[in-house]
A and B are shown apart, each in its own frame.
Chain A
């Protein structure tokens, strides 16, 4: 793997995750047959239900055997299975580049997106990528072919964290523009107005998109363990603040806890798949947990 963006992929991780399909939690509207539930009934291999014949129905789908036994017309319905369209939304504001030590959450997110996109395309579904800065920086529509994956990797490779975040208008735009149901996976630190953000999530869910929220946080942001005065320089502006961390630590932790609680409860409310990720964790484990949970949810009552 010498091509651009391939540094985000680890063959060993991929081979271990390949056994787990990425399934949608809700019915999807695809263009081709696939392994995801469709909201439509039709001819398929998966029987769904019988219903009374109504004039106008396609008589080809009458169950003649039942008619022979009962002299009544019943329509035999099957669940449609379709492919999945998955959009990865990556926040590339400057705050995503933050790291106290080790890998930044932006790189962490890139690694996750690349791996998930590989899995999605490999299972025959379509993967798209929207990189969001102050305004949309790059948008790749959802496609299924392997060449598209390469494009996706290249776009990921080029992306750099800078400027302020324009995530919320983009999310509204995605909700509006994407007519067919899709899986929308958002990767961000969500350091923006939480109420407005939750409005975006509500909008996406209202459009019946399956929403996966990957909340990426750095360990330093959660612990706030600084032992001497620090000049904190804002990554998204020139503003800086000299403070005594010991003095404000308690308040800071209260504030961030309040924020996390609000975001989590908002996601619960709108039935979004919320995942809080600390960047010192193993991305493979994060993804494995994500896929396993999806599979478990998808194998529930259909």
Chain B
């Protein structure tokens, strides 16, 4: 049970008041000389348990009446529909329904959290029908839709499951906008959510703004009441799978697909997972031994002579949440990987050209141009731009930006001189040279992902053994993939559009470092080319619900399924013309962290807020204000007490004092 005015509970010791008064009353007894003492003694001895029970009950009812009064003033909320139903009907109820993939987790009883929420909300809504207008704002569309009959909520298309993520602050903003536009009278916002932290984004600054706006809506003396139906019950047994990286690698005339997949589950027991794989419609099964809660799985599959792009999926066996068991992927055609090396330094250019050629097995894989000629260089078919020297002028910078947006990679090397120019907020500072017979060392770098990650076989790159004699400081960087001992960055990455930009603070020249030896430079270049190859492919992977405006206008046909699907709300493989897209649920939906109920209460501290469910296991009990029941209970206690203190009749016989006049008792 929770309370809207919990500070009144400090008055709980007042329930002892009747007991204290009773004791004081006993202490304040008056003295009465008495003659008929023997009757008094025998009456006290024979005072039956019934009489004592009666006295006890009187005291109990008085205590309970005081307790009920305190609880009533504290405005209690309790499980069960009664409290909810007894609340006064608002003019408008805005139902904010979380339709994210995580809401498809099954709870006890076999229904999903979303189904349970709909069931509970439609039941609660029945009580207000006629008096209240219901407006649904679902997490997938975030557009307010008025509901004619709240009982039909579970059947509406706007309440069906989706593979999208929910953006709770944005939903609240939509609710606020609706209230502002429609000038509704008294209003309530009912939020049904599983409190997934990634959906709620409690640190998001929007929360404060929206709640302040809700509290200050004009024409509402009591403000807006927010009720949260928290379906934060833990899932019984659940696991999820997601493709993190996919690359197509040529092996002679043939090619293979290399995957990096992330598996997460809420148990730790060691077990073998049967995983169903689908490649261009052909199903196969593989098995994976799992220990611990999370695992990264690298998987390869042979494509043979196939040159065209294709698609596929990985599927886990059924568990508590069916919507996180499948992950989809698409792969591009076997296009040659090319890079363009822009720089004045011939040695660096040669090394990079060599490294690129080694990977692509093509002598012309890398084209060497000077910065002045870059504006005329053709970027078609290029994956990576290696830029060495002063940062590009604005025109070249814009060209590079477009290149990266399309999925390409821009990799910047220093020129050795400070540069006033900047690219995406990053710019070159002073160059530093190591002391004689000493070198800069790299001690930590990201070995899980990025160009410096471990090899497929699990071997790390020999970056720690690489010596750096010179480096150039970087201005404006935030986080780095690799850093020197003193914390200054070696490699910095920024995501831009579909592609990435990198800044490396040293050069593969003998004066600068031993990078030119190859063990680090070659695999790094290889990975950059792989990453940049996205630009060449008409395939893409995206999160469900994040389709761009331009793409929304296109006609998308599901490839993985014969039944029609909506690209905006359902995961799968979709085709529009030659373009193939893998739509997956957002990675945030695999987040097992939920918002604590206390944190949720803090979020809504400024408005009238009610947590409508806190139970972890039992799902069919909401909370509501139950002050009417408490008040009714208090009345019952008071009436019971007054009945008990009524002077009782002497059963069966008349009172000996009932004879007013002296009786004559004479022998017959």
Binding site for B on A (CB under 8 A): 94-96, 98, 189, 191, 218-219, 221-223, 226, 228-237, 239-244, 246-248, 250-257, 259-260, 264, 267-268, 270-278, 281, 285-286, 289, 293, 297
A233–B407 alpha-carbon span in the complex (Å):
103
A85 to chain B, nearest CB (A): 21
Using Cβ atoms and an 8 Å threshold, which residues of chain B touch A285?
Answer: 661-662
Q: Which of B593-651 contact A (CB under 8 A)?
A: 645, 648, 650
Q: Specify which of A191, A232, A237, A274 is in contact with B665 (CB 8 Å cutoff).
A: A274
Using Cβ atoms and an 8 Å threshold, which residues of chain A touch B30?
Answer: 228, 230-231
Using Cβ atoms and an 8 Å threshold, which residues of chain B touch A256?
Answer: 36, 39, 656
A273 touches B667 (CB 8 A): yes
| Known interface pairs A232-B32, A250-B650; A255-B659 also in contact (CB < 8 Å) | no
Using Cβ atoms and an 8 Å threshold, which residues of chain A touch B46?
Answer: 251, 255
B29 touches A230 (CB 8 A): yes
The contact string, 1 if C-beta is below 8 Å from chain A, for chain B 16-55, is 0000000001101111111111111111101110011011
B373 within 8 A of partner (CB): no
B664 within 8 A of partner (CB): yes
B26 touches A229 (CB 8 A): yes
The contact string, 1 if C-beta is below 8 Å from chain A, for chain B 650-668, is 1001011101111111111
B457 to chain A, nearest CB (A): 89
Q: Which of B68-87 contact A (CB under 8 A)?
A: none
A53–B667 alpha-carbon span in the complex (Å):
37
Q: Specify which of A226, A228, A260 is in contact with B656 (CB 8 Å cutoff).
A: A260
| Known interface pairs A230-B32, A254-B650; A222-B655 also in contact (CB < 8 Å) | yes
Nearest residue in A to B52 (C-beta to C-beta)? A247
A174–B650 alpha-carbon span in the complex (Å):
40
Can you report 8 A-B residue pairs in the complex whose CB atoms are below 8 A from each other? A191-B36, A229-B29, A236-B37, A237-B37, A267-B665, A272-B667, A273-B667, A297-B666
Using Cβ atoms and an 8 Å threshold, which residues of chain A touch B26?
Answer: 229, 242, 244
A297–B666 alpha-carbon span in the complex (Å):
10
A219 touches B657 (CB 8 A): yes
| Known interface pairs A233-B32, A235-B33, A253-B650; A243-B44 also in contact (CB < 8 Å) | yes
Nearest residue in B to A272 (C-beta to C-beta)? B667
B663 touches A275 (CB 8 A): yes
Total residues of chain B contacting the partner, CB 8 A: 43
Using Cβ atoms and an 8 Å threshold, which residues of chain B touch A250?
Answer: 51, 648, 650
A255–B662 alpha-carbon span in the complex (Å):
20
Using Cβ atoms and an 8 Å threshold, which residues of chain B touch A286?
Answer: 662
A267 touches B667 (CB 8 A): yes
Using Cβ atoms and an 8 Å threshold, which residues of chain A touch B38?
Answer: 191
Using Cβ atoms and an 8 Å threshold, which residues of chain A touch B39?
Answer: 252, 255-256, 259
Q: Which of B130-173 contact A (CB under 8 A)?
A: none
B653 touches A257 (CB 8 A): yes
| Known interface pairs A241-B44, A247-B55, A251-B43; A232-B664 also in contact (CB < 8 Å) | no
A231 touches B48 (CB 8 A): no
B30 to chain A, nearest CB (A): 6
A158–B627 alpha-carbon span in the complex (Å):
71
A297–B667 alpha-carbon span in the complex (Å):
11
Task: Tell which of B38, B43, B48, B663 has the most Cβ of chain A within 10 Å.
Answer: B43
A195 to chain B, nearest CB (A): 13
A241 touches B656 (CB 8 A): no
B433 to chain A, nearest CB (A): 99
A268 touches B668 (CB 8 A): yes
Binding site for A on B (CB under 8 A): 25-26, 28-44, 46-48, 51-52, 54-55, 645, 648, 650, 653, 655-657, 659-668
Nearest residue in B to A277 (C-beta to C-beta)? B662
Using Cβ atoms and an 8 Å threshold, which residues of chain B touch A230?
Answer: 29-32
Q: Specify which of A223, A236, A272 is in contact with B655 (CB 8 Å cutoff).
A: A223
Task: Tell which of B34, B37, B668 has the most Cβ of chain A within 10 Å.
Answer: B34
Using Cβ atoms and an 8 Å threshold, which residues of chain B touch A273?
Answer: 665-667
B373 to chain A, nearest CB (A): 110
B656 touches A222 (CB 8 A): yes
A191–B54 alpha-carbon span in the complex (Å):
30
| Known interface pairs A230-B32, A233-B31; A252-B43 also in contact (CB < 8 Å) | yes
Task: Tell which of A191, A244, A281 has the most Cβ of chain B within 10 Å.
Answer: A244
B48 touches A251 (CB 8 A): yes
A116 to chain B, nearest CB (A): 15
| Known interface pairs A218-B35, A248-B44; A276-B662 also in contact (CB < 8 Å) | yes
A213 to chain B, nearest CB (A): 8
Using Cβ atoms and an 8 Å threshold, which residues of chain B touch A248?
Answer: 40, 43-44, 47, 51
A186–B650 alpha-carbon span in the complex (Å):
31
A127–B34 alpha-carbon span in the complex (Å):
32
Using Cβ atoms and an 8 Å threshold, which residues of chain B touch A246?
Answer: 55, 645
A276 to chain B, nearest CB (A): 5
A295 to chain B, nearest CB (A): 13
A278 touches B657 (CB 8 A): yes
Task: Tell which of B659, B663, B665 has the most Cβ of chain A within 10 Å.
Answer: B665
Nearest residue in B to A278 (C-beta to C-beta)? B662
| Known interface pairs A268-B668, A278-B660; A251-B655 also in contact (CB < 8 Å) | no
Q: Specify which of B29, B661, B662, B665 is in contact with A228 (CB 8 Å cutoff).
A: B29
A189 touches B40 (CB 8 A): no
| Known interface pairs A243-B40, A253-B650; A276-B665 also in contact (CB < 8 Å) | yes
A238 to chain B, nearest CB (A): 12
Using Cβ atoms and an 8 Å threshold, which residues of chain B touch A235?
Answer: 33-35, 37
B665 touches A189 (CB 8 A): no
A128 to chain B, nearest CB (A): 23
A231 touches B44 (CB 8 A): no
Using Cβ atoms and an 8 Å threshold, which residues of chain A touch B25?
Answer: 228-229
A270–B665 alpha-carbon span in the complex (Å):
12
Using Cβ atoms and an 8 Å threshold, which residues of chain B touch A278?
Answer: 657, 659-660, 662
A15 to chain B, nearest CB (A): 22
A98–B665 alpha-carbon span in the complex (Å):
24
A264 touches B35 (CB 8 A): no
B36 to chain A, nearest CB (A): 5
A264–B664 alpha-carbon span in the complex (Å):
10
B36 touches A276 (CB 8 A): no
A274 touches B666 (CB 8 A): yes
Nearest residue in A to B23 (C-beta to C-beta)? A229
Task: Tell which of B31, B35, B655, B662 has the most Cβ of chain A within 10 Å.
Answer: B35
A268 to chain B, nearest CB (A): 6
A223 touches B663 (CB 8 A): no
Using Cβ atoms and an 8 Å threshold, which residues of chain B touch A255?
Answer: 39, 42-43, 46
A98 touches B33 (CB 8 A): yes
B37 touches A232 (CB 8 A): yes
| Known interface pairs A222-B657, A241-B44, A242-B26; A276-B667 also in contact (CB < 8 Å) | no
B29 touches A242 (CB 8 A): yes
A188–B35 alpha-carbon span in the complex (Å):
12
Nearest residue in A to B654 (C-beta to C-beta)? A257
Using Cβ atoms and an 8 Å threshold, which residues of chain B touch A289?
Answer: 662, 664
Using Cβ atoms and an 8 Å threshold, which residues of chain A touch B37?
Answer: 191, 232, 234-237, 239, 241
Using Cβ atoms and an 8 Å threshold, which residues of chain A touch B662?
Answer: 275-278, 281, 285-286, 289
A110 to chain B, nearest CB (A): 17
A223 touches B666 (CB 8 A): no
A221 touches B51 (CB 8 A): no
B664 touches A251 (CB 8 A): no
A273–B34 alpha-carbon span in the complex (Å):
27
A32 to chain B, nearest CB (A): 28
B646 to chain A, nearest CB (A): 11
Q: Specify which of B34, B51, B650, B655 is in contact with A98 (CB 8 Å cutoff).
A: B34
Using Cβ atoms and an 8 Å threshold, which residues of chain B touch A228?
Answer: 25, 28-30
